[in-house]
Amino acid sequence: MKIIPAIDLMEGKVVRLYKGDPNKKTIYSENPLEIAKKWESAGADMIHLVDLDATLGSGSNFDSLKNIAESVKIPVQVAGGFRSEKIIEEALKFATRVVIGTLAFKDKTALDRLLATYGNEKLVISVDHNDGLIVVNGWQETTKTPLIEAVNDFKKMGFSEYLSTSIVRDGTLQGPDLEPLKKINEIDGVNLIVSGGISNIGDVIKVKELNPFGVILGKALYENQVTIEEAKGI
């Protein structure tokens, strides 16, 4: 299981949001590159970079994402506001993987083209959910699409890489929502990254028992409730 620290960017600063709410943010650093290098030297397998301004339609941290990706040696996965083929194409010039959320649900034709061009290893489908229903548009819109149905549909299209965040757990330190994760992970040919609610090493152990592709560490890492070294050691 890969240990993947998250670096969420808003106005160039490293922040964490509570349940995705931009009005409930905590700033942890004004130097995201320094944080990326810190996580890299701690032994992270990959860095998960999120452009919250692009997600919310209030700006862009694209240059910062590029700078970080080009300054570390480990793989970088970028997420947040990648809603056009052009920006995904630009991001894949420097990022190992791009996470696609809203576009995946709104434009299957574009998604098919991206899959044909880049293959399934570089494209990660974001199946974020609110109590089992898919959410899109920076978590502002809950759809009627059930989580498991969505994963199965994308799998039929040829996708294998998934990221699932429980938005009611994200930034809460209340522990991960394990039941839906188990169901996704039971689907053959699915590589799942688990995100949302991790609070301590015990939660990381519970997630590892599901044998997913990776786990994202966010608030617990920034609040010193878990370390990358601990997570790597289990």
Catalytic site residues?
Answer: 8, 128
What residue ranges in 11-140 does DSSP mark as E strands? 13-18, 21-29, 47-51, 76-79, 97-100, 123-126, 129-130, 133-136
The helix/strand count (H/E) of the chain reads as 11, 13
Percent helix / strand / coil, the chain, rounded to 5: 35, 30, 35
d(CA 173, CA 171): 6
Which residues make beta-bridge pairs with 51?
9
d(CA 49, CA 36): 9
What residue ranges in the chain does DSSP mark as E strands? 2-10, 13-18, 21-29, 47-51, 76-79, 97-100, 123-126, 129-130, 133-136, 141-146, 161-165, 191-195, 214-217
**Consecutive H or E run containing 166:** none
Angle among Cα 56, 160, 15 to the nearest 5 degrees reads 30
**What is the amino acid identity at position 163?**
L
